[in-house]
Amino acid sequence: MADEARTVAKAPVPVDPAPGKVIAVHLAYASRAAQRGRTPAAPSYFLKPASSLAGSGDVVERPAGTELLAFEGEVALVIGTPARHVPPETAWDHVVAVTAANDLGVYDLRWADKGSNVRSKGRDGYTPLGPGLIDARSVAPDALRVRTWVNGTLVQQDTTGRHALLFDFPQIVADLSQHLTLETGDVILTGTPAGSSVIGPGDVVEVEVDAPGVVDPATGQAPTSGRLVTTVVQGDVPFTEVGSGPRVDDVQRAEAWGSREAAGLAPEPAPFVLDAELAAKLREAPVAGLSAQLRKRGLNGVVIEGVRPATPGTTLLGRAKTLRFLPHREDLFATHGGGYNAQKRAFDTVGEGEVIVIEARGERGSATLGDVLALRARVRGAAGVVTDGGVRDSVAVAATGLPVFSAGPHPAVLGRRHVPWEADVAVACGGATVLPGDVIVGDDDGVVVIPPHLAAEVADAALRQEEEDAWVAEQVAAGHSVDGLFPPNPTWRAAYEAARRARQS
């Protein structure tokens, strides 16, 4: 079949003159954005080579060693007169025709493209167009429909109406024209709606663009491009080591197929939520007990060493928002230390219930925050700050009411020892690795870092242990020796369980 693919006669592309360039929109349909879980604020683009063009009836290869060839039925715009710096109001005047397109791509190669799509979408035959053209003068840009069939089954259907598109066609033409000259014959692929998925050898894909609300006077029917037919065959030429080859993971499989379910993958675990019930348990459980439970589960490096609350009796609970400082270097501080730097941005964007965790390398010879930033975090609803560095204006910081755990007070400003470098990255605070979103709990004993997936389990176990320890303390207070009692041997364990059942009855 691969030999057949290389020798079959190429069907003509119905664009004259031949396109000098093909420009494709990454994401334009609301249905596709909802499927992908991301909605861009403005259109973005990539280029496809003219050598990727093909016509209706051509075959397309799935490259050897790949699994994720996907179709994308799209409306293609053909530029009739050059456009440069045109406004949206007149942009459609520069479009001479509309036709069907199939923006094929190999998801196995996306990892190396980083958005350019040169490898994944630039292959020979990966931009079929046609078979016919719709006169752009006969239709409004918001009156079109695109449909795609795979092996005769309708799999994509959407319109270009106002609510269907994130960016209408005149906006796309106008936007592109402010960056480059759109020349006669150029083709713009306007994005695909939801329903794109994976195809394999033997599959037949058909794409049609029409205008169902319009009547063509010549035919008495709605204008149509006709069905653009593409058949998939298996390629047999392997990739070599001269460049990037195929690589797939479950993220690419889910995106190629359209969902994890369609790709045959297990559903994503539900996102962690620090709800009121779990928060109450974590506040009730002492940090010492939480630390012990984490240790039982093999996690020893979860205590942030050397930090204490500014005000004794302070407790702390929230999700980590991280901030990293580098050792002071004059040239780096000149570029990163002034203005709206990473430190100020972190305090200015901290979310409600978040704890700002600062990596200061245990350097106590300079402050990492003061009263103004503490007040800003407090106003934004932050749950607190943990820093293995110093705090200036310590009395005023404590007066804000924001829980702050630090290595102690220091009067010097940030630039004496630190460069504010980056936020929302993995940091090392007090010898513990902290990831954004980790659960941070603090009390007079110190601060512990809990991986979110263990938070509920550890909280429940710590509270059960507290209940047992309280009972043991009662026995010790009654005069019993700790030998065999702490921890309980089988005899004392049976006594504890009996007492526990009695309390619950």
Residue ranges at the known binding site for substrate: 370-373, 392
Residue among 90, 75, 87, 98 nearest 28 (CA): 75
- CA 471 centroid distance within chain: 48
User: Are the C-beta atoms of 45 and 190 separated by less than 8 Å?
Assistant: no
CA distances to 5, 44, 108, 279 from 236, rounded to whole Å, are 10, 34, 16, 57
Cα gap 94→92, rounded to integer Å: 5
Residue among 191, 257, 237 nearest 63 (CA): 237
Query: What tokens were used for 44?
Result: 């973005």
36 contact partners, CB below 8 Å, separation of at least 6: 27, 255
CA distances to 18, 165, 367 from 54, rounded to whole Å, are 11, 26, 64
Backbone angles phi, psi at 125, to 5 degrees: 85, 5
Residue numbers in the known binding site for Mg(2+) are: 393
Residues forming a β-bridge with 123: none
104: helix, strand or coil: coil
Q: How many CB atoms lie within 10 A of CB 339?
A: 7
Backbone angles phi, psi at 452, to 5 degrees: -55, -40
Cα gap 499→492, rounded to integer Å: 10
User: How open is the CA angle 112-43-196, to the nearest 5 degrees?
Assistant: 60
Residue numbers in the known binding site are: 370-373, 392-393
26: helix, strand or coil: coil
